[in-house]
Structure 1
Amino acid sequence: MLLAITGFIMIFLIIYLLLQTKANPTAIFVIVPIVCAVVCGFDFAQISAFMKKGVTTTMPVAVLFIFSIVYFSIMSEVGLFDPLVNFLVRRAGSNVVLVTVATGCIATIAHLDGALAATLLVTIPAMLPLYKKLHIRPVVLCVIIGAAMSIMNLLPWGGPVARVGVVLNADVNALWHTLIPLQIAGVFMVLGFSAFMGVLEKRRGAGLHPTGKAAMLDEDASSARQETDEEAESLKRHGWYWWFNLLLTAAVIGMLCFTHIQLYAAFMIGLSLALVVNFPDPKMQAKRIKAHAGAALGVPMILLASGVFLGVLTGTKMMDAMAHTLVAIIPGFLGPYFHIIMGIFAVPIGMMLGTSPYFFGLLPLAIGVGQQYGISPENMSHAMLVGKNFAVLVTPHAATTFLCCGLAGVSIKQLIKFCTPWLWALSIISLILALILGIVTI
């Protein structure tokens, strides 16, 4: 019981401190888990082993972040995305709704490979310049991508469906065939949600000629932009450079989607070639790397620190104790609706536990309890799978969450506060759709 209580306190404290910005996330993810582990009676040798194992799991994503951020930052400043942005601006004009719907389409297509990081790395760098030009908040870009990924994650090669298949000992393709009607309905839901977010942003004053709050923010930043316009223009690369950068980026994305090469290796290769070709002068190469060092190093530090949290959470067995407690607190009279309850609260629970502990730790326990009330394992799995997917972008200790923050230039506090309510609401709507379609039954 001590482990469970301490685990819940640790997670709630970390989320509270992140939202209140009481300290840097790096310090939060290191100090709080260590203190909690000590409270539970673990010595420093054990805690060190937990830390080592946890950091090992986040290291590849931290390296990926360093090289991908610098790569896409350089691609942006040399003008690779300018034709796309200018084309979309011409086509959309001041139609903010069209831009947000296009974001939903791009994110949906980009997530066909089922890789969260690749979807973020493709969609955000391409769309963020347009969002800035039209004065649309970057968190809107994040929440639309989060919604699209949540629906597309129902593909058989997506991580959550594969994990459910393992737990049920079922064929993953057969499981996906059951979910296809929900996925089709979900795509339309995402596009509708994207349009809705566009309407909200337009009411805030977003557009080519902003009004209200967006206009005031634009006026405040105008002088700063004027000072940097000349320097930014000097970094643009036209002619054959543009074609080289386009082919290089396509090759990097191709490696992400169609090969088994490590994600960070693809960006290491891409960044090296981009620097050498676009900036032959070694001093200029060092200057461009230094210019993006803040963004490229800050978040990886947080990712490595979050490995301490994950290592303590799993190594101390807090996760197992928390999962048992969550299942045990459901009152008996709600037993027949246990799967619906788990589906409704899947987002906050998923935010606390993370993907693998949720499916491999909590789901088997929930299935066992549900069977006592006549709920089939498939029914329980479907309900918990549909809801949990929408927590994928707002899990405060997930690497992709910080990757999204870094690419979009938003803080973890902004991301969680803005995106969580919307994504939780979408998860409940998806659960209702699953009930209507007969995928989840009462």
Structure 2
Amino acid sequence: MFLAIMGFLMIFVIIYGLLQSKVHPVAIFAIVPIVAAIICGFDFVHISAFIKTGVAKTMPVAVLFIFSIEYFSIMSEVGLFDPMVKFLVKKAGSNVILVTVATGCIATVAHLDGALASTLLITIPAMLPIYKKLHMRPVVICVIIGAAMSIMNLMPWGGPVARVGVVLNTDVNQLWHVLIPLQIIGLCLVLAFAFFMGVVEKKRGAGLNPTGKAAELDEDTSFIKKTDSKEAESLKRPKLLWFNALLTAGVIGLLCFTKIQLYAAFMIGLAIALMVNFPDAKMQAQRIKAHADAALSVPMILLASGVFLGVLSGTKMMEAMAQVMITIIPNVLGPYLHLIMGFFAVPFGMMLGTDSYFFGLMPLAIGVGKQYGIDPMNMAHAMLVGKNFGVLVTPHAATTFLACGLAGIELKDLLKFCTPYLWVLSWISLIIAILLGIIII
């Protein structure tokens, strides 16, 4: 019980500190878990082992962030996205709704590989200039991506479905076949939600000639470092447009169709981009340095969050927390435990993270549910459908910080804006799953 209390307290302090923005996330993630572990009686030998394990989990995404931000920053300054931005803005005109619906379509297609990081890396850099052109809030891109990937994560190669397959010891394709009707309707739900967000932004004054609150957005919120107009123009490489486009397509192809590490794909792409666009070694160093602030600040947070993940898992706080969350449910609600777990899946997932949720909480929930006659598959479906909508708003997930960095927004703004929308969407998806007979009451 003591471990559970400390776990909940640790998460509360971390989330509170992040939302208050009075202390840098690196300090919060590095200090709070260590203090909690010491209070729980662990010595520095054990704590260092926890940190090593946790940082090892976040290291690949931190490296990915460094090279991907450098790559997309350079692609932006050489003018790769300029033709697309001009084309979409010309076609959309002041039609903000068309832009948000297009965001939903791009995010849906981009998430075919089941990797949230690559979805963010494909969608945000492509759409962010258009959002800024139309004075739309960048956080809207994130919430639409969150909705799209939540539905696309139901694919058999998606991480959540794979984890459920392991927990249930069942074939993931068989699991997916049951979810196909929900996924089809869910895709329509995503487009409807994107349409709704376009209406919201339009009411705020977004558009080519904005007059409302949306026009007050800071133009410097992008992760791309701004330069003066003369310098910016000198960095354009219109003659290399097709080369850069093919290079970017090749990098994305590596992400989607090979098993190469995501960061390795961007390492290769960045190296080629620098050599071709800026043949001079001194110029290459200048371009890397120009984007170093954005490329290094968030990876530091990612690496520090590994301390939290390592302590949460290594101290067994996660297991203790999961047990407490199950046992506090009154017996009278036992037969409806799967609905309760599905209803609160987003906040539970935000607290525990993906692996802790599926491998810690779900097995315990299934075990308790059996006592009340709830089929394990029924419990798994409810928890899976609900949890997917919380992936992008998990405060200690590496991809959450990746989304913030790419969109140029603060974590507190992402959580405050996206969480309510995504939680409501999870409820709607649960209702649809019940109506389809996927989840049985």
The normalised TM-score by structure 1 is 0.97
Shift of 1:227: 7.9
1:9-408 paired onto structure 2 within 5 Å? 9-217=9-217, 228-239=228-239, 241-408=240-407
Distance in 1, matches of 2:227 and 2:60, equals: 38
User: Partner residue of 1:413?
Assistant: 412
User: Partner residue of 1:425?
Assistant: 424
**Deviation digits for residues 128-178 of structure 1, max 9, x if unmatched?**
111110111000000000100010000000000011011111110010000
Distance in 2, matches of 1:281 and 1:246, equals: 21
Say which SS state the counterpart of residue 91 (structure 1) adopts: helix
Shift of 1:232: 1.4
Q: Percent identity?
A: 76
Distance in 2, matches of 1:25 and 1:33, equals: 12
Moved more, 285-294 or 311-320: 285-294
Distance in 2, matches of 1:407 and 1:331, equals: 43
Distance in 1, matches of 2:205 and 2:219, equals: 13
Shift of 1:215: 3.0
Distance in 2, matches of 1:71 and 1:184, equals: 34
Distance in 2, matches of 1:220 and 1:406, equals: 13
**Deviation digits for residues 267-298 of structure 1, max 9, x if unmatched?**
00100110111111222111111111111000
Distance in 2, matches of 1:258 and 1:377, equals: 33
Q: Which amino acid aligns with 1:382?
A: H
Distance in 1, matches of 2:413 and 2:290, equals: 24
Distance in 1, matches of 2:348 and 2:198, equals: 29
Relative distance call for 1:168 and 1:91 in structure 2 (3 A) is same
The normalised TM-score by structure 2 is 0.97
Distance in 2, matches of 1:244 and 1:184, equals: 37
Relative distance call for 1:47 and 1:162 in structure 2 (3 A) is same
CA RMSD of aligned residues (A): 1.5
Distance in 2, matches of 1:150 and 1:279, equals: 39
Distance in 2, matches of 1:299 and 1:15, equals: 17
Shift of 1:409: 0.6
Relative distance call for 1:154 and 1:29 in structure 2 (3 A) is same
Contact 2:30 2:305 in 1 (8 A): yes
Distance in 2, matches of 1:4 and 1:258, equals: 41
Shift of 1:218: 7.0
**Deviation digits for residues 234-288 of structure 1, max 9, x if unmatched?**
111112x111101110111111111111111110010011011111122211111
Gaps of 5+ in 1: none
Shift of 1:22: 2.0
Say which SS state the counterpart of residue 392 (structure 2) adopts: coil
Shift of 1:233: 1.5
Instruction: Provide runs of 4+ in structure 1 moved above 6 Å.
Output: 218-221
Distance in 1, matches of 2:175 and 2:218, equals: 49
Distance in 1, matches of 2:2 and 2:215, equals: 53
Distance in 1, matches of 2:275 and 2:227, equals: 28
Distance in 2, matches of 1:163 and 1:226, equals: 42
Say which SS state the counterpart of residue 228 (structure 2) adopts: helix
Q: Which amino acid aligns with 1:51?
A: I
Shift of 1:226: 11
Distance in 1, matches of 2:360 and 2:375, equals: 18
Gaps of 5+ in 2: none
Distance in 2, matches of 1:321 and 1:186, equals: 34
Q: Which amino acid aligns with 1:87?
A: F
Shift of 1:219: 9.8
